[in-house]
Each structure stands twice: as C-alpha cells, then as structure tokens.
Amino acid sequence: MDYIYKPAKYFTYGWGKKPVLIVVHWVAGSFNSCIRTFEEGLRQASAHFVISKNGDVVQMVDLKNRAWHAGKSETKDFGPYCNNYSIGIELEGPPSFVGLNGWNKEQIKSLVEVCHHIQKEIPTVQYITDHSTISPGRKIDVKGSTGNKVDIFPWAEFMNLAQMTEIK
C-alpha cells in the first residue's frame, strides 16, 4: 500500500486498550485542509489516515499510538471513549461538499486497502463502524445522511470488500 506519512500534532502515545475497531469518518472540507488542520493542530484532533476523493492516502498517526478522532463516543461492545481502542480514518467528502456526483471508486478501493493494512499490522482489529454510530445525535457521518442522494456512502458494497464485522 502506498502512502505518505505526515505527523499530526495531537495524538497520545500508546493505547488505552487493545485496538479492536476502525472508525470511518468524512471530513467536510478538502483533503489538504484536513491534513493541514491535523499537522498544525488547528483543532485538537487527528486521525490515523486521511484518504482523498481520488484515493491518495496520508498516514498522520502511527498505528502504535492513539489518534484523537472520536471525541465523546461509545460502543456497546467495547465501552466509552472509542479513541482508546479504535483506528480513525478520514475520507475527503461527502461528495456534494467536494463537487462530485457520488463517492469515487478509487477512494473506496483505498479505504479497503487501508483497512486490510491495519488488520495485517494489528490482528486484533476486526470491527468497523462510522462516527455517527459511536456518537449518535452528535455526528452525521458516513452512514448518516446529509439529505443529498449523492452523499449516500456505498456501505454494503464497502463491507463486502472489507470483510470485517460491523458494529451497529
């Protein structure tokens, strides 16, 4: 898998718990503005990976460390504060925000490759979800709705390719 490493300003060394989950987000802005925000610490946030609408990948936090991507969050299976046990991936999008008529196949392909790379590096990571699922009412994200049909993420197609267990 080809990617560039650009370190985020904010992250935590090590893990609170063993990582078991990937959380997919979208960034309501450009790929470059997301990277700049994480690099410069414009918000106290970060993600392990950022994927452009064209499928380019930048890693921003080493997989040995916790990114600050989930904020106030929880799963029934693993508990509160998902940053302690999850890998964060940001997708440039949604499509209507970045001038596309739907999610780009190259971006989905890169997302699948990143998920497989993560599972190879950290075999305990077997689960996946999106930010709106772990922060209901607080976030509208990949499986959420902007009200625009072009923004509907092909989650079922992605899950078929990723071959991971979904946290709902």
Q: How many helices (H) and strands (E) does the chain have?
A: 5, 11
Q: What is the phi/psi pair of residue 162, to 5°?
A: -75, -30
148: Cβ contacts below 8 Å, ≥ 6 apart: 94, 95, 96
User: Of these residues, 39, 90, 92, 157, which one is catalytic?
Assistant: 90
Which among 165, 147, 130, 125 has a CA at the least distance from the CA of 17? 125
Q: Does 90 participate in catalysis according to the annotation?
A: yes
Residues with active-site annotation: 90
